[in-house]
Structure 1
């Protein structure tokens, strides 16, 4: 990676998730993933948690509206990073929680993975909405992303606070300035993330379903 890429968080995010997506698709067609192919197409926890950690600055760039997401996301990614020091794959991590009967307990690695996955999905939808509009305001893209991914899992008080915070979002121009990207380069990197993260998110969802855990909790 070139030295100046260190100041381009969006590019680093796109590259990391493209690498994860490639690792999934190398030996398998994700759309036809079964429990057997999930076992043969493992995702290593260390590169996954590292890629997720690169997304954290993006939440900070969105300001107070997503402060709740930043704090929750960062804490849970930190847990996965720590877990990766002794656990090799997402499957092994989830199997360990299943054996310990702690999957749905607060603080479990598997529960944290589910929350992190939602953060990745929120960013994916946000990028889709940003690309789909020529407006400089991020209120509509961010509101759509929140409503689609987070709102169904939040109580009224949190939804109300997020709605109020939407008025303090940066503009698209301000966000791109913070990310050190122009409109053309940002669109390219966002499109890479959208495609790559969709494959990663689908893989994780299928992994949860393959272990009869579901994803709506």
Structure 2
């Protein structure tokens, strides 16, 4: 069950980010985020916001032990906002986690026949659209149009509607802690969260 693995990984990560005075290891963050690969493989769409960039976190973990140190090194190198910087990619991954959380919230708050396409479009518009130009928004709309119905997706993961709801709610709660930690990390470094 993919959703259980994702929910469990983010619950563990939430414990780390909620531990006062602990810098979050890049490896733990990367391991939790990598759980989404199976979901995107099943969805067979390239519209999701560059989750392949999680690979950068895996590479960064070999060079930098914690997320805070990773951001500090980019600040020292004056490359925080440059394409391909670890910090810029971290911001994009944070937004991807937020998008997944909004999707889950919409699906949990609506009837079971609510379209996965509609939930994804709502989440994209809320999280990513304000940062994307017209051409990217159109490409994403095309990708969203090819998504499977929610009921078929649950079947592909061998999950019932009830197990999906349990795991999605766990992810929603845990990922909120993770993205809040990242927001606070960016703000503590005077980077803001809207760039």
TM-score under structure 2 length normalisation? 0.94
4+ runs of 1 displaced by more than 3 Å?
60-64
Aligned length: 194
CA distance in 1, matches of 2:167, 2:146: 25
CA distance in 1, matches of 2:55, 2:146: 27
Deviation (angstroms), 1:57: 2.4
- What's the counterpart of residue 82 of structure 1? 59
CA distance in 1, matches of 2:33, 2:135: 27
Alignment match of 2:140 (pick from 152, 156, 162): 162
- What's the counterpart of residue 120 of structure 1? 97
The answer to whether the 8 A contact 1:122-1:149 is kept is yes
Alignment match of 2:30 (pick from 40, 45, 49): 49
Structure 2 residues not aligned, in runs of 5+? none
- What's the counterpart of residue 208 of structure 1? 186
CA distance in 2, matches of 1:209, 1:136: 36
Distance 1:165 1:69, change over 3 A: closer
- Matched residue SS, 1:55: helix
- What's the counterpart of residue 168 of structure 2? 190
Alignment match of 1:152 (pick from 111, 126, 130): 130
Deviation (angstroms), 1:136: 4.2
CA distance in 2, matches of 1:94, 1:190: 30
Alignment match of 1:69 (pick from 45, 48, 52): 48
The answer to whether the 8 A contact 2:47-2:143 is kept is no
Alignment match of 1:21 (pick from 14, 23, 47): 14
1:52-76 Cα deviation digits (max 9, x unpaired)? 1111222333343xx1325x221x1
- What's the counterpart of residue 35 of structure 1? none
- Matched residue SS, 2:173: helix
1:90-140 Cα deviation digits (max 9, x unpaired)? 000001111111111111111110011111111000000111111242122
- Matched residue SS, 2:23: coil
- What's the counterpart of residue 5 of structure 2? 12
Stretch deviating more after TM superposition (135-144 or 76-85):
135-144
Structure 1 residues not aligned, in runs of 5+? 1-7, 28-39
